Amino acid sequence: MGGTTEASRLAALLAKNGLADRGARAVLSYAGRTEQPRAQPVPVRVGGFGGVAGLADYLRAERVTHLVDATHPFAATMSHHAAAAARVAGVAHIMLTRPEWQAQPGDRWRHVGDIEGAVAALAGEARRVMLALGRMHVDAFAAQPQHHYLLRFVDRPAVAPGLADHALVVDRGPFTVAGDRALMESHGVDLVVCKNAGGAGAEAKLGAARALGLPVIMIDRPARPDALVTHDVQEALRWLGHCDQRGV
């Protein structure tokens, strides 16, 4: 279950290690939120499963023996469903996720628990805000219409964001500190809102905010399910090669 850089790296390693030669196969599943996902060296499935029962049925029907949840750290519902479905279907299960970002000297982070907390934290005078959240939750910030919002999406949306005052940049990472600093300066950004997604591909905005002395509203991660977890793609590959269906 993918949609992340880590999932793509694992798929590449699986293909490189000759799955077919060992009588094994892998499928990379996308939720379908990105219109043009990167090409992959293994078969791809796009779309939901229909909750825990639907995913468990799929695992059984496809005779899946190992399930790797390499979805986004904020795909909490999907991760909880994966853990539950793996238990129901008797499938070995592991989460491949990124370590959380940690504040560095010079960072000015304000932690909030969720999107609603981030919206509430923007109460007050007008600011120029970079919403580094992707497109799913942007419209919630219409509740704070006094701000100018800078948005950066992977794909151009079919429907314009529901924010009265915004600028939209369509770009795909990984990004650089220098590039993000230039972007923030060119748009006069004075506040950044982001999720603690972790990883190197989207970290540049934090370095840019630090360099410019900008405050960051940091949305903390949701609770993850009780599961075996690794932050290392190579370790996930070793797990696939050496564990049985119980994940042992």
Least confident range of 23-27, 112-116, 224-228:
23-27
Distance between CA atoms of residues 138 and 161, nearest Å: 7
Q: Are 213 and 191 contacting, i.e. CB atoms less than 8 angstroms apart?
A: no
Distance between CA atoms of residues 100 and 195, nearest Å: 10
Tokens (6 digits) for 73: 């750290």
Whether 120 has a pLDDT exceeding 60, the answer reads yes
Higher local confidence (pLDDT), 6 or 247: 6
How much is the pLDDT for 22?
59
Domain ranges of the chain: 5-99+223-242, 108-219
User: Could you tell me which CATH number the domain at 5-99+223-242 has?
Assistant: 3.40.50
Whether 37 has a pLDDT exceeding 70, the answer reads no
How much is the pLDDT for 242?
59
Q: pTM of whole model > 0.75?
A: yes
Please report, in angstroms and rounded to a whole number, the separation of the first and last CA atoms in the chain.
Answer: 20
Whether 244 has a pLDDT exceeding 60, the answer reads no
User: Could you tell me which CATH number the domain at 108-219 has?
Assistant: 3.40.50.720
Distance between CA atoms of residues 41 and 55, nearest Å: 23
Segment 217-237 shows an average pLDDT of: 94
How much is the pLDDT for 23?
61
Tokens (6 digits) for 207: 């370095």
For residue 113, the SS3 value is: coil
Summarised one tens digit per residue, pLDDT across range 91-117 is: 999 999 999 999 999 999 999 999 999
